[in-house]
Amino acid sequence: MDLNSIETPALILDREKVQNNISRMESHLKSMHVSLRPHGKTAKNIDVINMFQKGRISGITVSTLKEAEYYFSNGITDIVYAVGIAPQKLDRVFRLISQGARITIILDSLAQADSAANAAQHYKTEIPVLIEIDSDGHRSGVDPDSPFLLHLGRYLDAAPYIDFMGVLTHAGESYSCSTAEEIRQMAEMERRQAVLCAERLKSAGIPCRIISVGSTPTAALSRGFQGVTEVRAGVFMFQDLVMAGLQVCSVDDIAVSVLATVIGHKKERNWIIVDAGWSALSRDRGTAAQHTDQGYGLVCGTSGQPVSGLIVSSVFQEHGVITHREGKSIILDRFPIGRRVRILPNHACATATSFDRYYVADASGTVVDEWKRINGW
Ligand SMILES: Cc1ncc(COP(=O)(O)O)c(C=O)c1O
């Protein structure tokens, strides 16, 4: 099957690029002597996870319990559910544990710790727990300098059926860095805060075996992971325009694209209109503040090569408007109605969530497989 026979919009995955991205991260972290726990939320697919070297990963990270159930049913038993636990989700977590999964949960409050301890007591089943640390003021997590860290650690350490494992942090602010050096500094801050928190816990007599850090930018550019036991990252498998803007990868490394069809022109405005709007590309504008603003996506031919200067500059639900980024005129005849283009996404995770499958292409652009995605919660 070639790309002209697929109904659009469709999500295309370049298998060789995924493999190269995975192999590059594997060898980078191997050279830094730290283990990798890939985040399964970008791919939401077992075939992608199976592209990691056997034995190199001990487990994965997930962002939904649906992913946890899916990956477990596909043979992965060691799973960190890296979104703060909602008490109502604990029954589902214990159901997975009773089936043989090792599900580690994360939390940053006494209310969550209390719910987890009560549920574990109720099921008379141990549950591994990590304290989430807010190493960069990005989102959730315990303030690394606060006395509350030790308070929470003592509570978890003493609670029956809670297997307190250590700390986890995610330097999501690395997405807002402007230079590679800034990312390196962010990576060092992420590492240092996590290690210092673990040391504070250990000095208070609370064992801390896991020190888990990671985001794609910090994983890719860090100078070292001294003291860290595992690195989590997900988007590196596909890469995207935000990562290219951060110099974490090149545009050519981006393995995922949205196949779209030209459905119209607006000659007087110099527009090409395609059938991929925000419901296919997402509204993510992650490159807006970067050196090169890529609009809602960078336009490529079906071979995957960017078409000089063309971006999706505005989106409606099912319409995308392609213009030249510098307002230069486009030879519209080169994009007749029915012509296919591939659009590289700003944020691969956000774009992929609209699709239930990947059309997997080889380097020549021939579709060789279809892989399903496990969307939803
Ligand atoms: C807790 C956590 N860990 C790891 C990651 C992976 O980061 P990235 O998507 O940059 O690879 C994320 C991404 O959102 C995350 O939320």
The pLDDT score that the predictor gives to residue 118 is 98
The pLDDT score that the predictor gives to residue 71 is 97
| 233 C-beta closer than 6 A to ligand 1 | yes
The pLDDT score that the predictor gives to residue 55 is 77
Report d(CA 89, CA 79) in Å as an integer: 15
Which H or E element spans position 47? helix 46-49
| Average pLDDT by stretches of 10, the chain with 377 residues | 94 98 96 96 97 87 98 96 98 98 98 98 98 93 97 98 98 94 97 98 97 98 97 98 97 98 96 98 97 97 94 98 95 95 98 98 94 98
For residue 5, how many other CB atoms are within 10 A of its CB?
A: 8
Return the CATH number of 3-10+255-372, one of 2.40.37.20, 3.30.70.20, 2.40.50.100, 1.10.287.130: 2.40.37.20
| 324 C-beta closer than 6 A to ligand 1 | no
Find where tokens 């283009």 sit. 341
Ligand 1 center from residue 233 Cα (angstroms): 6
Cβ pair 289, 242 in contact under 8 A: no
Please calculate the CA angle 135-345-249 and round it to the nearest 5 degrees. Answer: 60
| 37 C-beta closer than 6 A to ligand 1 | no
Contacts 24+ apart (CB under 8 A), 333-337: 335/262, 335/265, 335/272, 336/262, 337/262, 337/263, 337/264, 337/265
Atom of ligand 1 nearest to the CA of 236: 11
Pick left, alpha or beta for residue 227 (phi over 0 → left; psi -120 to 50 → alpha; otherwise beta): left
| 183 C-beta closer than 6 A to ligand 1 | no
Question: One fold for both 3-10+255-372 and 32-238?
Answer: no
DSSP strands (E only) in the chain: 10-14, 35-38, 60-62, 78-81, 102-107, 127-133, 162-169, 210-213, 230-233, 256-266, 271-274, 298-300, 306-315, 320-324, 340-344, 357-361, 367-372
Convert 149-171 to b/e letters by CB count within 10 Å (16 or more is b): bbebbebbbebebbebbbbbbbb
Domain map of the chain by residue range?
A: 3-10+255-372, 32-238
Report d(CA 210, CA 58) in Å as an integer: 13
Ligand 1 center from residue 232 Cα (angstroms): 7
The pLDDT score that the predictor gives to residue 245 is 97
pTM of the model: 0.96
Superfamily per CATH, domain 32-238: Alanine racemase (3.20.20.10)
3-state secondary structure of 27: helix
The pLDDT score that the predictor gives to residue 128 is 98
Please report, as a single letter, which amino acid is at residue 110: L
Report d(CA 261, CA 180) in Å as an integer: 36
| 330 C-beta closer than 6 A to ligand 1 | no
| 215 C-beta closer than 6 A to ligand 1 | yes
The pLDDT score that the predictor gives to residue 308 is 87
